[in-house]
Structure 1
């Protein structure tokens, strides 16, 4: 089942990157090899993370939750991840240590 989901996740991530490039008005640029994500439950905070995170199983779980809750066309113009900031920071901290 995971094999059938991965191509759609990567395809959707590419679509997000294209949308992001058109939605940089009033936003800081995203460095090459990174993606901006919005994280939070009520107040959204913008984070810029490496694209390599997209292939990590833990981050893919976050992407699946984002797809279920928001789809990939969100009003913020970027990927919104529905988890609290502390959990997101802990996950990215673990990914950085690998």
Structure 2
């Protein structure tokens, strides 16, 4: 009986540890479909965009990534990929790559 209770308590503790991760992943603004990547775009204020991974290999997009590397390096304090360009520039580029 004592071993079973200890096992149940251990399982409950594991579930409680995972609960914040599960809740965070269920937020709609954190969802990234398979084959896509989330990027934050903007110079002063940023806006989140989800783009297909196929766009990332395009030379024009690589130029944007190079600018991000030059400005932020690889250890960005916000923990996400931020591209320092105007939102309309980013939208024009990505829409032309989708066409």
TM-score (norm 1): 0.69
Cα distance between partner residues in 1 of 2:34 and 2:74 = 21
**How far apart are residue 73 of structure 1 and its match?**
2.4
SS in 2 for 1:38: strand
Q: Name the CA distance, whole Å, in 2 between partners of 1:72 and 1:95.
A: 25
The number of residues matched between the two structures is: 75
Q: CA deviation at 1:67?
A: 0.4
Q: Which structure 1 residue ranges, 4+ long, deviate > 3 Å from structure 2?
A: 24-27
Query: 1:80 Cα shift?
Result: 0.4
How big is the shift at 1:75? 3.0
TM-score (ref. length: structure 2): 0.69
8 A Cα contact 1:38 1:79, kept in partner: yes
By relative contact order (CA 8 Å, sep 6+), the higher-ranking structure is: 1
Instruction: Give 5+ residue unaligned stretches, structure 1.
Output: 1-21
Please point out which of 67, 72, 75 is paired with 2:74. Answer: 72
Cα RMSD (Å)? 1.9
**d(CA) in 1 for partners of 2:49, 2:35:** 14
C-alpha distance in 2, partners of 1:73/1:51? 21
In the TM superposition, what are the counterparts of 1:11-90 in structure 2 within 5 Å?
Answer: 25=24, 27-90=29-92
